[in-house]
C-alpha cells in the first residue's frame, strides 16, 4: 500500500535543464541519467518520502509559536539560474529570519541514518547551497542534518563563496557540452578516493565498467 501510494512516473530529463542537487555527484553518473533514464525504484522513493516528511517536520518547528527567535519567511520555493545555453532549476528548502541578528539564512535540510557519523557538511550539499545563495542574493546559508531515527540534528553554517560558485557554474557548462557532444565524462567517482563509495550505490555501474556511451 505504501509503495502504491508514493509510486510516480519518472519523466525523462530534458537536455539543457539541470539541477543543483546533482552537480556534486559523479559527472559520469549524471551524464548517464540523461542518456539512459531509469524508473525510480520503490525503495528509493521511500527514502525520498522520508526526507520529505522530515522537512515537513522542520517547517512545523520553524513556524511554531514556541520558537519566537526565528521566523520562517518562505519554504519550498523554486528558483532558476538562466545562462545563454542552459537552465539550472532548483527548489530552496527554507528561508529563515533570525530575529536577534536580523540575518536571513538559506537553509538546506538533509536527512541522515545516523547523526553520529555527520562530522561536516558534504561537498555536494554545500555546492547545492552555494547555488541557492547565489540565485537568491542571500549570502548566509546553513546545511541542517536531521537523524531519521531520533530527530537529533546538526547544523553547519556556510558562507557564500563567489569563487566556488564560478567553479560550479563551469561544471554545469562542462556537463552540457559533454551531453550535447555525446562525449562520455571520465569516471570521476572511481578516480577519487573520497567519492568511490558512490559507485556502490550507482545504478549505472555495469555501463561505467564498459565505458559505454
Q: Which three cell numbers stand for residue 212?
A: 559505454
Domain range annotation of the chain: 19-164
The torsion of the CA quartet 204, 205, 207, 213, rounded to 10 degrees, works out to 70
Q: Is 84 left (phi over 0), alpha (psi -120 to 50) or beta?
A: alpha
pTM above 0.85, yes or no: yes
Q: List helix spans (H) across the chain.
A: 2-6, 27-35, 42-63, 123-136, 162-180, 188-191, 205-209
pLDDT in the model for residue 88: 97
185 phi, psi to nearest 5 deg: -70, 165
Listed residue (162, 163, 76, 90) closest to 132, CA to CA? 90
One pLDDT digit (tens) per residue for the chain, 213 residues: 877 776 765 677 899 999 999 999 999 999 999 999 887 677 777 888 888 899 999 999 999 999 999 999 999 999 999 999 999 999 999 999 999 999 999 999 999 999 999 999 999 999 999 999 999 999 999 999 999 999 999 999 999 999 999 999 999 999 999 999 999 999 999 988 888 888 988 989 999 999 988
- What pLDDT was estimated at residue 213? 85
SS3 207: helix
pLDDT of residue 6: 64
* 19-164: CATH, from 3.40.30.10, 3.90.320.10, 3.30.750.24, 1.10.274.10: 3.90.320.10
For residue 137, what pLDDT is reported?
A: 96
| 123-136 helix and 162-180 helix, angle to the nearest 10 degrees | 100
Please tell me the chain's helix, strand, coil percentages from 3-state DSSP, rounded to the nearest 5.
40, 25, 35
Compute the CA torsion angle 100, 104, 105, 106 (nearest 10 deg).
160
The pLDDT value given to residue 166: 97
CA 39, 211, 88, 91 dihedral sign is positive
Q: What pLDDT, on the 0 to 100 scale, is given for residue 9? A: 58
* Closest alpha carbon to 179 in 102, 85, 38: 85
Amino acid at each position: 500500500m505504501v509503495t502504491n501510494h508514493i509510486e510516480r512516473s519518472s519523466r525523462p530529463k530534458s537536455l539543457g535543464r539541470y539541477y543543483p542537487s546533482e552537480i556534486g555527484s559523479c559527472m559520469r553518473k549524471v551524464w548517464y541519467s540523461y542518456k539512459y533514464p531509469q524508473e525510480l525504484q520503490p525503495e528509493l522513493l521511500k527514502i525520498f518520502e522520508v526526507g520529505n516528511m522530515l522537512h515537513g517536520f522542520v517547517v512545523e518547528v520553524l513556524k511554531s509559536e514556541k520558537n519566537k527567535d526565528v521566523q520562517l519567511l518562505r519554504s519550498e520555493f523554486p528558483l532558476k539560474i538562466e545562462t545563454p545555453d542552459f537552465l539550472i532549476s532548483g527548489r530552496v528548502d527554507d528561508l529563515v529570519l533570525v530575529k536577534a541578528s536580523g540575518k536571513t539564512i538559506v537553509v538546506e535540510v538533509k536527512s541522515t541514518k545516523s547523526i553520529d557519523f555527520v562530522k561536516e557538511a558534504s561537498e555536494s550539499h554545500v555546492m547545492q547551497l552555494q547555488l541557492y545563495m547565489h540565485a537568491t542574493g542571500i549570502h548566509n546559508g546553513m546545511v541542517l542534518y536531521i537523524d531519521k531515527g531520533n530527530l537529533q540534528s546538526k547544523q553547519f553554517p556556510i558562507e557564500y563563496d563567489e569563487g566556488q560558485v564560478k567553479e560550479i557554474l563551469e561544471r554545469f557548462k562542462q556537463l552540457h557540452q559533454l551531453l550535447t557532444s555525446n562525449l562520455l565524462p571520465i569516471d570521476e567517482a572511481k578516480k577519487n578516493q573520497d567519492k568511490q563509495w558512490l559507485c556502490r550505490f550507482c545504478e549505472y555501474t555495469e555501463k561505467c565498467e564498459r565505458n559505454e556511451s
